[in-house]
Copies of this chain bind each other. A is one copy, B any other.
Amino acid sequence: MSNIKTNSVGIVEPQTLHFDEPLSLESGRLIEQYDIVYETYGRLNSAADNAVLICHALSADHHAAGYHHEGDSKPGWWDICIGPGKAIDTNRFFVVSPCNLGHCSGSTGPRSIDPKTSQAYGQDFPIVTVVDWVNYQKRLADKLGISQWAAVAGGSLGGMQALQWAIQFPDMIRHAIVIASAPKLSAQNIAFNAVARQAIMSDADFHGGRYYDHNTVPANGLKVARMLGHITYLSDDAMGDKFGRELKNDQLKYDYGVEFQVESYLRYQGESFANRFDANTYLLMTKALDYFDPAEKEGGDLSAVFEKVQAKFFLASFTTDWRFSPARSKEIVSALTEAGRDVSYLEFESNYGHDAFLVHNDDYLDAFGAYMRNIEVSP
């Protein structure tokens, strides 16, 4: 029996493209050659003007919609809004969803083999930034024959990429969809990332990032990092509603084991993540977040950065998101408005905190869908 719903893109298969042309990075370093793994949904029209780029956040990847096989229990990470008749309607749009450089789901990253040494890169893999990812995604666009995206869309770190696209290649993007994002991290955001990295890098199994050679992984550190991340993705209210002070067992044990359901949940989340995700990629993603600051080149003036932007913008935030609160989206909206750009902004009621951009919510998806329907594409 199939789990696949009727409004799904169905079964999808990741594709891989190999690139031999070196990519210059913001750090001054170079990545000589690399693979891009990506998925596509829908069809590119003959005018090639209906392509939508999906940018993923920290722990997601190219698998944004559909299923990998019959009986696959979970669809892609943004299946709520990508599919026939959905907000990003695959009957109209050709959706391209790449896995970012540095990731651990197929595209070249720290656990890939460095052709120079025939060993895994580990921490020799260069730091990559949002600017680098946009250059990397442009290479993919060129290869796929897309000279202009109808839209570039993402949430959180993905929203930063959409924003950066509008700045970096102003004539290659008609609409930027920036959800639950921020124009740069706050000191508190950086601090949480610093704690996560500290947990990973001080794990005795980290071995300076060369744990692959020791046949181990820094699972404890990655578990702590993910547990911490989870707290920042959920709202205080949502955690309260879901777990409150509910006990794991019938009564308190007064020991250092798990007493409360919320502890049990976090440990489970941390463990399952540590089993599937590469610690070096986690470090790299948190650094990309830290470095993102497009206004820095204009002395902190975000509206100056938007002077040359041509894209129209759709921004959305969620009331209980305290990682990237509505106030952070409003910083972007204000700067766009000041620069005279077209921007639609909506703040949605949600109890799901930062994770709200991944959760079905009629108001959010209706507004997102309405915006997308107004994007003109050739028949």
Contact = CB atoms under 8 A, between A and B. Distances in A.
Closest 7 CB pairs of A and B: A27-B254, A202-B220, A204-B204, A187-B239, A194-B263, A127-B254, A188-B236
Given A195-B224, A228-B195, A245-B293, A190 B254 contact: no
A250 interface: no
A230 B230 CA distance: 18
A138 interface: no
Interface string A220-253: 1101100110110010100110111100000010
A175 interface: no
Given A195-B228, A202-B220, A254-B291, 7 more contacts: A185-B245, A187-B244, A188-B239, A191-B230, A195-B224, A204-B204, A256-B283
A172 B293 CA distance: 57
A239 B195 CA distance: 15
Contact of A262 (B187, B220, B260, B262): B187
Interface residues of A, number: 57
A149 to B, nearest CB: 28
Nearest to A197: B256
B186 A256 contact: no
Nearest to A221: B202
Interface in A271-304: 283, 287, 290-291, 293
